[in-house]
Amino acid sequence: MQPPFRIGYGYDVHRLAEGLPLTLGGVRLESRLGIVAHSDGDVLIHAICDALLGALSLRDIGYHFPDTDAKWKGADSTRLLQHCAQLVREQGYEIGNIDCMLALEAPKINPHNTAMRTGLAEVLGLELHQISIKATTGERMGFVGRQEGVEASAVVLIFHAEVRL
């Protein structure tokens, strides 16, 4: 018997470098620094994917979308997210909510928060209130504070489709 509720946690980190694009939560942001990655490097979406996969005990994003596969070179991470959401549905679950945290010095995330949440909600078939995105800086400490990298974490709650909320 499937448990009625499951929780998943995801985390991702990528290096930053000058002259590359910066896409977070499916939104392209203006920034002098961008993400070094095999795909588009959207750490926020990657953390959500890992959280969804973890809630189902289906390993991690690297297992499903290996960086050794040329098929994923430069891939739009919303494609990966759609696939992970489909796996959730195939297992008989629905997404209850997603809570995310981004850590980077710049640019500021608050002006882009609603656009990120709206795009993610559309990709996942959720309501805006089911997705939370928060942001913090490294207070100029560590790799985030020195603008060497960006990190994201996400927690998801999924529930079996037969559960009446």
The predicted-structure confidence for 95-135, as pLDDT tens digits, reads as follows 999 999 999 999 999 999 999 999 999 999 999 999 999 99
Can you list the alpha helix ranges (DSSP code H) found in 112-156?
113-124, 142-145
Distance CA 140, CA 94 (A): 39
CATH number of this structure's domain 17-148: 3.30.1330.50
8 A C-beta contact, residue 42 and residue 100: no
pLDDT digits (tens, 9 = 90+) for 54-103: 999 999 988 888 888 777 777 899 999 999 999 999 999 999 999 999 99
Domain locations in the chain? 17-148
- pLDDT band of residue 143 (cuts 50, 70, 90) is very high
Return phi, psi of residue 144, to 5°: -70, -45
Whether residue 165 is predicted with pLDDT greater than 80 in this model: the reply is: no
Count of CB atoms within 10 A of residue 142's CB? Answer: 12
Taking CA atoms, 138 is separated from 54, 109, 116, 150, 152, in Å, by: 27, 14, 21, 10, 12
pLDDT in tens, 19-56: 999 999 999 999 999 999 988 999 999 999 999 999 99
- Structure tokens that stand for 3 in this block: 């448990």
Q: Does the predicted model carry a pTM greater than 0.85?
A: yes
**What mean pLDDT comes out for the span 133-150?**
97
pLDDT at 112: 97
